[in-house]
């Protein structure tokens, strides 16, 4: 299920945020709402249960715990947000941008090649032949495998995996970028 370190960090980070969020909420409810606004506190059911678990703790200790866990939660949240640029979570930003930049031309339409006799190459044979949009699309790919699942060659049992092709191109482009 969690196949690599990136997936584990993303899911683990979300779990930490969830647990510390409920803990901070429960501590806040125990400090400020259980006695003053008992009808309001039940509207956060998990926080309310957590608050009840801290009913025997002194208020000053609760304030220190709340402040400490609040800071931990904020640092964890900002750290998790920073993963957007370094993991497959960049898809959350890149996918809407890619959709916005999508061509309005019909899919599969071939472009006219002017002066065809004078062309040195056709299509893409080097990284420099890709457009900026195509390079961006390489970066947006998150290896979900849906392209391979619907590829006629893969369905026919042929050794073509569009996902692996895109990931290999993405790795190659990244390597070229790091060398420059």
Confidence label for 2 from pLDDT (cuts 50, 70 and 90): low
Q: What radius of gyration, in Å, describes the C-alpha atoms of the chain?
A: 26
Q: Are 61 and 34 in contact (CB under 8 A)?
A: no
State how far the Cα of 48 lies from the Cα of 31, in Å rounded to an integer. Answer: 11
Confidence label for 1 from pLDDT (cuts 50, 70 and 90): low
Start-end of H helices in 54-107? 59-82, 91-100
State how far the Cα of 177 lies from the Cα of 173, in Å rounded to an integer. Answer: 6
CA proximity to 5, closest of 162, 17, 13: 13
Mean pLDDT lowest for which of 50-64, 80-94, 109-123?
A: 109-123
Question: Tell me: the pLDDT tens digits for 4-41?
Answer: 888 888 899 999 999 999 999 999 999 998 888 878 88
Residues 6+ apart with CB under 8 A from 160: 151, 153, 154
Residues 6+ apart with CB under 8 A from 164: 148
Using a pLDDT cut of 90, give the percent of the chain over it.
Answer: 32
Note every long-range contact of 67-75, with CB atoms under 8 Å and residues 24 or more positions apart, other chains counting.
69/20, 69/23, 69/24, 69/27, 70/24, 72/20, 73/17, 73/20, 73/21, 73/23, 73/24
pLDDT beyond 90 at 95: no
pLDDT at position 67, please?
A: 97
Question: Tell me: the pLDDT tens digits for 53-78?
Answer: 999 999 999 999 999 999 999 999 99
State how far the Cα of 173 lies from the Cα of 120, in Å rounded to an integer. Answer: 22
Residues 6+ apart with CB under 8 A from 139: 90, 94, 170, 173
């Amino acid at each position: 299920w969690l196949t690599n370190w990136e997936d584990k960090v993303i899911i683990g980070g979300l779990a930490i945020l969830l647990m510390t969020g409920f803990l901070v909420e429960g501590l806040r409810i125990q400090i400020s709402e259980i006695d003053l606004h008992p009808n309001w506190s039940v509207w956060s059911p998990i926080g309310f249960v957590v608050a009840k678990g801290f009913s025997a703790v002194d208020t000053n200790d609760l304030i220190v715990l709340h402040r400490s866990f609040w800071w931990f939660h904020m640092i964890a949240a900002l750290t998790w947000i920073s993963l957007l640029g370094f993991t497959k979570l960049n898809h959350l930003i890149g996918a809407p941008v890619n959709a916005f930049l999508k061509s309005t031309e019909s899919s599969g339409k071939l472009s006219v090649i002017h002066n065809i006799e004078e062309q040195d190459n056709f299509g893409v044979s080097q990284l420099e032949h890709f457009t900026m949009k195509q390079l961006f699309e390489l970066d947006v790919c998150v290896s979900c495998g849906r392209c391979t699942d619907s590829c006629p060659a893969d369905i026919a049992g042929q050794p073509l995996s569009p996902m692996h092709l895109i990931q290999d191109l993405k790795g190659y482009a990244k390597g070229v970028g790091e060398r420059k």
